[in-house]
Amino acid sequence: MHVDAVDKKEVIMDLKGRSFLKLLDYSKEEIEYLIDLAARFKEMKKDRIRHDYLRGKNIVLLFEKTSTRTRCAFEVAAMDLGMGVTYLDPRSSQMGKKESIEDTARVLGLMYDAIEYRGFSQKIVEEIALNAGVPVYNGLTDEFHPTQMLADILTIKEEVKDEHIKVCYLGDAANNVANSLMVVCAKLGIDYTACGPASLMPDRRLVEKCQNIAMQSGARISFTDKIEDGADQANVIYTDVWVSMGEPDSVWKERIDILRPYQVNEKVMRLAREDAIFMHCLPSFHDLETDIAKDIYKRFGIREMEVTDDIFHCEKSVVYKQAENRMHTIKAVLYATLYDEREAG
């Protein structure tokens, strides 16, 4: 049986065989199709309707950085779809150490139907996709985090009822999550404001691309260092960590100094719309319950970083819903790119 599902749409998108490396490669209609499909899979999961449409297929998950949500979302999504899953942690493959990216991709592509990669440069995931001969999914690079965005947009669709939406991202507006958020907003006609210090604004070339896309979609893409302007009329206040995986420990001091004013707290939420929601991709430093947060407290004396604990836990916060939606949306990507009616029994 085929999830036809996205039945409400006249056109069923054919994404079979496509990689999912960055949202710039996908059209507005394709992104919306994946979100609708994810919503359908979410219903099926809640209603306990079996959906193992990818029985007999296998995926390998390559992680060069740590993960809770992305790894578990891929594993559960793949298993619900009936797939076999292999997880390779940073130490247990030869890739990059004894074997080139190209050789690794070619070998894995002959054994698996799909490959997920989380790591450092975007070039690596693009190189894997070039050589694997099977769909490759970006589970986060230093530049982009596209699967996170599908979950975030599904969450926004569920939580925000306004026709025209404004998202304000506060903090390190040049990181992977902020870059991807700007792209997805530009594609979908959602207003996006990056609010932070000038030194942490996104790359100019990416901004130009997004502004061109926004001209078609009707989104407004803007940048400010003033919280009053950024948060004003926002339906969504979004933030992420001040230092991302792979960045040196030495950047903490400067980041804390320049990003402290952009912490999401009660004052920021009061500047946004009354019904605004708070979003964070997680993991988050909002208390002293982690080793890194304790170390930062010892070194710099701060107990909460990008968001205060009260906002993280308040009723406006949808962070755990976002996390759950990772699984439903990744399932949509796997299904859309791997399901083949001819092979199905």
Give least dist CB 303 to ligand CP, A: 22
* Contact present, 131 and 155 (Cβ < 8 Å): no
255 binds, among ligand CP, ligand NVA, none (CB under 5 to 8 A by kind): none
Which range of residues in 96-104, 120-128, 191-199, 276-284 is near ligand CP by CB under 6 A? 276-284
Give least dist CB 243 to ligand NVA, A: 8
240 binds, among ligand CP, ligand NVA, none (CB under 5 to 8 A by kind): ligand NVA
Among 281, 305, 334, 338, binds ligand NVA (CB under 6 A): 281
Closest of 198, 220, 225, 196 to residue 210, by C-alpha:
220
Site residues for ligand CP, 229-258, by CB under 6 A, read: none
Whole-angstrom Cα distance, residue 191 to residue 297?
35
The DSSP string of 35-94 is HHHHHHHHHHHHTT----TTTT-EEEEEESS--SHHHHHHHHHHHHTT-EEEEE-TTSS-
195 binds, among ligand NVA, ligand CP, none (CB under 5 to 8 A by kind): none
- Assess 179 for contact with ligand NVA (CB under 6 A): no
Q: What are phi and psi of 24, to 5 degrees?
A: -60, -25
- Assess 330 for contact with ligand NVA (CB under 6 A): no
Q: Would you give the distance in Å from CA 60 to the centre of its chain?
A: 19
Quick one: 74 or 252, whose CB is closer to ligand CP?
74
Residue type, 65: K
Whole-angstrom Cα distance, residue 70 to residue 14?
24
Q: Which residues bind ligand CP (CB under 6 A)?
A: 67-70, 140, 148, 281-283
Q: Which residues bind ligand NVA (CB under 6 A)?
A: 140, 175-177, 240-241, 244-245, 281
